[in-house]
Structure 1
Amino acid sequence: MTTRVQAHGIAGNRLFAGTLSFDDPAVADEAILPVVSSLDYPAQGSNVAETRINAAFNRLLTPTLAFTIDSGWLHQNWPIGNLSGADKTNVGLKYEAWRDNRHEALVSVGLAWGIGHAGSAAVGTDAPNTVQPGVFFGKGFGDLPDSLSWLRPFAVTGAIVDETPVGSSRASAFAPNLSTGRFDPLAAPGVETLHWGFSVQFSTLYLTSRFDGGPPKEEPASQWVPLVEFKFDSPSGGKTAATANPGFAYVDRTWQVGAEVIVPMNHAGGNGPGFRAQLLLFLDDLMPSIFGKPLLTDRAPAGREMKW
């Protein structure tokens, strides 16, 4: 049997919800407008309350290859005053390397370029050029036997991105000086940082009559997906910042909304709970006249076939 499905984040009966704290395995025409987060954490020998607004855009070049770009804006509240500025900007490519619809598995790889000094020194996002190879994966458990049917609604996704500085330029930032009440400029070399994380997701589709153990009868959208994300940032020679992020996503055909609580797992991860929220637009379904097919081919991403 052959079934046709939409392109975004789907492998078999499994829809992998777009994660909020790291990239998901989908390769599709998407826009994130925006991701908003707020968290208090230690930095520069002090503490800062940071609000971050980020946006991202992915455009398919072929059914399995997308151009990506992301950036944002930060506002920081320090004990001696406030600072605001642009986040760093990254551009890159993302490629769907492997999918197995029968076993609800999806793997993508990416390579991004962090544009040197595109961010603001005021908020510590000024940095040298960086290269960022990454792997993104998802695996659903809908293929498990009847004896383990209670696990079928669950899935895991994950990402590993190695951000490595390129060249000899140094990063610029400002550090609060509590004795003078001013921000002192400082310079530091770029540091290689491993960004990694994983999520555990629960598909409510598996609790309905829409799933009967066989191939999907329709696109598995319009569902709630409770999830927990675990995010880690590990700078070379420094302490890993770790957070657990319980929340939910609601996935419709043309959009997804999600929200989660940021719970620090160690001191580097934050001083207390924060929050994160996201609006994700599936552009191929939202504006098919513009995004109905990739830029470099006439083959539409909706034409992917699943053979059962």
Structure 2
Amino acid sequence: MSHRILRTGLFGLGAALVSFHPGAAHEIVGNRFFPATLSIDDPGVNDELALPTVDSFNTGDNPPVRQRDISGEFAKRITEDFAISLGTAYTFLGPIDRTAAGANGFQNLETLFKYRVFKNAEHEFVLSAGLSIEWGGTGASNVGADPFNTYTPTIFFGKGMGDLPDTLSWLRPVAITGVVGYAIPERSFTGTFGVDPDTGAQTFDTEFHPQMLNWGGSIQYSMPYLKSAVMDLGLPDFINHLIPLVEANLQTPVANTLTSGTLTTGTIQPGVIWTGTYFQVGVEALIPINRQSGSNVGVIAQLHYYLDDIDPHGIGKPLFGGAAQPASPFARQ
């Protein structure tokens, strides 16, 4: 899914910029399996279903608000290299001190159009480009869904270290992925009429909607790769299915920032993914990088199905073209 910025607020509290983004793809490049990461989107183009993705954290509002999301996303290949995904989230907001009522509702629907631009098996490198559209007005305003569209052109990349020399063979299971997107709101500002409580005079408040640089990455150590492409250490089978990783998911206002400022917000997310032949399960901590990003350590977890492996000749087959090579992390063992 694209990097949507949720502007969460409750009872007139200052809004915090919180990134929500369930990962949407996995990818095989040579011997390298790139899993679907939980918060940033990776460069894969596949048929997949992420359901559910759940998270819980305290927002950067003052005082903070407890936010919980349950989301889902479906990705479908049109051709071998081009896919469209649809996703949304249901959000629960509530004051931590329980002194007021909470709010809940759907976030805006998001669509991501992604095309795999380049793939090199020898160097385990893949590059994709995409356009995410957040459809304004499809969600509930009381949980921060904007009434206007936001367009985010994005570049995705992944690089495995399998081409390192034999002297560095223990680093071959390492891989990095990255994403850089530029979010452009359809509306530059929103004006609101009000009344000054002291003088009774009419007021007009303007909130500018900034253009955002959405950026991040992950560093991973693949135990399946270690066993199949480097060395079988005879570890328990459960361990051989794990990919420990750390994600970074960050947002920086870069234009139209008069009311938002230019402070970067986001999270660092250490965790682990267990990969199977047909699905994966992942869990990560959500560690805010500053007070404006959140007031505690949260958590995110996801169950993710590989439809192209479950049914490669049916729902997992591109609409145009034949069944593709399975994208299982164990397909090349």
TM-score range, shorter chain: 0.7 to 0.9
Aligned ranges 1:113-124 → 2 under 5 Å: 113-124=133-144
* Contact 1:92-1:113 at 8 Å conserved across structures: yes
Offset, 1:93: 1.0
Report the counterpart of residue 106 of structure 1 in structure 2: 126
1:18 aligns with 2:41: no
- Cα pair 1:127 1:171 within 8 Å, conserved: no
Query: Which deviates more, 7-16 or 134-143?
Result: 7-16
Equivalent position of 1:211 in the other structure: 229
2:209 to 190, 195, 207: 190
Structure 1 residue aligned with 2:201? none
Whole-angstrom distance in 2 between the partners of 1:49 and 1:267: 14
Which of these residues, 297, 300, 307, is aligned with residue 283 of structure 1? 307
1:73 and 1:84 in contact (8 A); partners too:
yes
2:66 maps to 1:49? yes
For the aligned residue pairs, the C-alpha RMSD in angstroms reads: 2.2
How far did residue 171 of structure 1 move? 9.1
Code of the aligned partner of 1:146: D
Residues 116 and 127 in structure 1, CA contact (< 8 A), matched pair in contact too: yes
Question: Which string of whole-angstrom CA distances, capped at 9 and with x for unpartnered residues, describes residues 106-154 of structure 1?
Answer: 1111012211211211011224111110111110101101122221111
Structure 1 counterpart of 2:323:
300
Q: Is the 8 A contact 1:109 1:136 kept in 2?
A: yes
Alignment partner of 1:142 out of 143, 156, 162: 162
Paired-residue identity, %: 36
* Distance of 1:251 and 1:11 partners within structure 2: 16
Q: Give a deviation string over 1:77-121, Cα, whole Å, max 9, x none.
A: 124321101111111310001111111111111012211211211
Aligned mates of 2:302, 2:267 — CA distance in 1: 17
- Write the distance in 1 (CA, Å) between the matches of 2:244 and 2:230: 21
Q: 1:243 aligns with which of 255, 264, 267?
A: 267
1:262 matches 2:286: yes
After superposition, the Cα gap between the structure-2 partners of 1:231 and 1:153, relative to the gap in structure 1 and judged at 3 Å, is: same
Correspondent of 1:273 among 293, 297, 313: 297
AA aligned to 1:188 is E
Aligned to 1:35: 53
**Greater RCO (Cα-Cα under 8 Å, separation 6 or more):** 1
Specify whether residues 156 and 126 from structure 1 end up closer, same or farther in structure 2 by C-alpha distance, changes over 3 A only.
same
Larger % of strand: which?
A: 1
Q: Which one of the candidate residues 200, 204, 219 is aligned to 1:200? A: 219
SS in 1 for 2:282: strand
How many equivalent pairs are there? 274
Tell me, yes or no, if the aligned pair for 1:164 and 1:193 is still in contact at 8 Å: yes
Q: CA deviation at 1:187?
A: 7.3
Letter of the structure 2 residue corresponding to residue 282 of structure 1? Y
Cα 1:73–1:292 shift into 2, 3 Å:
closer
What is the DSSP-based 3-state SS (H/G/I as helix, E as strand, rest coil) of the residue aligned with 1:128? Answer: coil
Please state how far the C-alpha of 1:292 moved relative to its aligned partner: 4.1
User: Residue type matched to 1:74 in 2?
Assistant: T
Give deviations 1:19-54, integer Å, cap 9, x for gaps. 1111111000011101111111222x4311100112
Name 2:247's counterpart in structure 1: 229
Check whether the contact 1:128–1:169 (CA below 8 A) recurs between aligned residues. no
Residue in structure 1 matched with residue 11 of structure 2 by the alignment: none
Q: Could you tell me which runs of 5 or more consecutive residues in structure 2 were left unpaired when the two chains were aligned.
A: 1-24, 193-204, 232-239, 328-333
- Segments of 5+ residues of structure 1 without an aligned counterpart are 1-6, 173-185, 214-221
